Amino acid sequence: MTTKQAVRMAVALPAKHRSRLMNTAREARFPVGTRLFEEGRKADRFWVVRTGTVTLDMHVPGRRSAAIESLAAGELVGWSWLFPPYLWHFGAEATTPVRAYEFDALAIRLMCDSDPQLGAAVAQWVGQVLAHRLTQARMRLLDLYAPHGSGPPR
């Protein structure tokens, strides 16, 4: 199983690649309620949370957006920037005051293009994040806490 620890940038990326990325990072602060991005908009940045909580949400027509997952310190916020068409799949909002490292997506993609080793490492990191979240989503899909949520006994 991919563990949450393993998908953290500090663990998933080798030091030399991590430091190259961090050299491009800038510090960002978001007050409570700030929308980091909106579903369907251009994915031109991403973040690694330092403190606070960011909640991912999905637009539901005719209803309020559905919150689907919260992300805390050390976690990657945003992966749509790595894959065409570079549009956000979800929305994101700061549910507490958030401090984060902010990265320019285009600059990182260009760095990855010019350095295949870096590109592979970043792709692997983001892939691990996606695999971890898919596993978590599937666990939640089982609705385990409901009566007989894990299915009838054999």
Partner 1 sequence: MTALPVPYRVVARWQETPDTRTLRVEPVRERLCPFVPGQFAMVHAFGRGEIPVSASAIPIGGGLGFTVRRVGAVSEGLYEAGPGDTVGLRGPYGTGWELEKAACDDLVVVAGGIGLAPLRPLVRDAVADPEPYGRLNVLVGARTPADLMAHRETGLWRTAYTGVTVDRPGAGWSGDIGFVTALLGRARFDPRATTAFVCGPEPMIRATALRLAALGVPGEHIRVSLERNMRCATGHCGHCQLGPLLLCRDGPVIGWDLAEQLMTVREL
The answer to whether 64 contacts partner 1 (rule: CB under 8 A) is yes
The reply to whether 150 sits near partner 1 by the rule CB under 8 A is: yes
> Is residue 128 a contact residue for partner 1 (CB under 8 A)?
no
Q: Which is nearer to partner 1, 32 or 120 (CB)?
A: 32
Examine residue 68 and tell whether it contacts partner 1 (CB under 8 A).
yes
- Asked if 68 and 39 touch (Cβ cutoff 8 Å), the reply is no
Enter the tokens of residue 154.
Answer: 């054999």
Among residues 13, 55, 81, 108, which is the contact residue for partner 1, using CB under 8 A? Answer: 55
- Binding mask of the shown chain, residues 34 to 53, with x at each position contacting partner 1 by CB under 8 A: -------------------x
129-to-59, 71, 136 alpha-carbon distances in Å: 22, 12, 11
Residue from 70, 89, 120, 134 touching partner 1 (CB under 8 A): that is 70
Question: Whole-angstrom distance between the N-terminal and C-terminal Cα of the chain?
Answer: 25
Closest C-alpha to 96, from 71, 127, 124, 76: 71
SS3 call for 102? strand
Q: Which amino acid is at 106?
A: L
Point out which residues bind partner 1 (CB under 8 A): 1, 3-5, 8, 53, 55, 64, 67-70, 72-74, 95, 136, 139-140, 142-150, 153-154
